[in-house]
Amino acid sequence: MAMLSTSLSGPKSATSYCAPEFSGLRRLCPNNNTNNSHSQSFLRFSSPRKPLRGVLAMAGTGQFFVGGNWKCNGTKESITKLISDLNSAKLESDVDVVVAPPFIYIDQVKSSLTDRIEISAQNSWVSKGGAFTGEISVEQLKDIGCKWVILGHSERRHVIGEDDQFIGKKAAYALSQGLGVIACIGELLEEREAGKTFDVCYQQLKAFADAVPSWDNVVIAYEPVWAIGTGVVATPAQAQEVHVAVRDWLKNNVSAEVASKTRIIYGGSVNGGNCAELAKQEDIDGFLVGGASLKGPEFATIVNSVTSKKVAA
């Protein structure tokens, strides 16, 4: 097990890719009130920068994708109510919708949730199951009806201690067994303030690219760590800038086809009040939603923000 511990928490290797210059930032809303789910707090650029649109010839071509990450929340009673709300919600047809319940409730959700919404796990083991106490194998997830798994979430990286290479291996195994992967990337606040946003995201992308057999069933979720569960959301321009850079990285380091087809979704304090403006951005192909996904009507509003994308187009 000592070898496993080293693998999980070992130092991250430096990226070999050069990042474009990143402008400095300053906080405009230091007195953020996280109790108001629709409050609009942002980190903004301290100086303007030229848009990156010119470096790439295409935006995403995949269908809008919205995932709900329920994290370590819910009881049988509250989840029954949430399922009822989701089953009665009117959802736009041209959106892929996924929810990720806690492991112990996946079977309950799968047996009672509309087939319109697919099921994701929040994590999976790096290889076939066996003597790995507390872990869940890809094979077990498939057995109970999961179609997706979230890997590389910041809480797994920065709380549990999973490193880039370990996460890449988990993604490769999940894909090899037929699970889709929601591959999370994103920077800490201090990394953003130091101008390292692109460096961090490129390093995390490289670990996925070095490991995965194909990008056909991968959705990339850009989730700036400073925006997750804080009530502080990236401005539409900030999110768009990183999404463009991620797509450009895929074009230059994987292929133009993968860059075009791979959906890049945004996560970090997305709610019913800010989703429409975010959805209008050309390279935001959907959302990975945390707290707001625990509220059926609000989650439906986020799913249906695809209409804003259509108007913007």
Q: What residues are labeled active site? A: 153, 223
Q: What angle do CA 243, 247, 301 make, to 5 degrees?
A: 45
Q: What's the maximum distance between 2 C-alpha atoms anywhere in the chain?
A: 54
Tokens 């502080």: give the residue.
232
How many angstroms from the chain centroid is the CA of residue 87? 24
**Residue 26: beta bridge partners?**
44
Sign of CA dihedral 59, 170, 222, 217: positive
Q: How far is CA 162 from CA 12, 123, 155, 245, in A?
A: 10, 11, 9, 24
First to last CA, the chain: 52
The residues near 24 (Cβ < 8 Å, ≥ 6 apart) are: 45, 46, 47, 193, 195
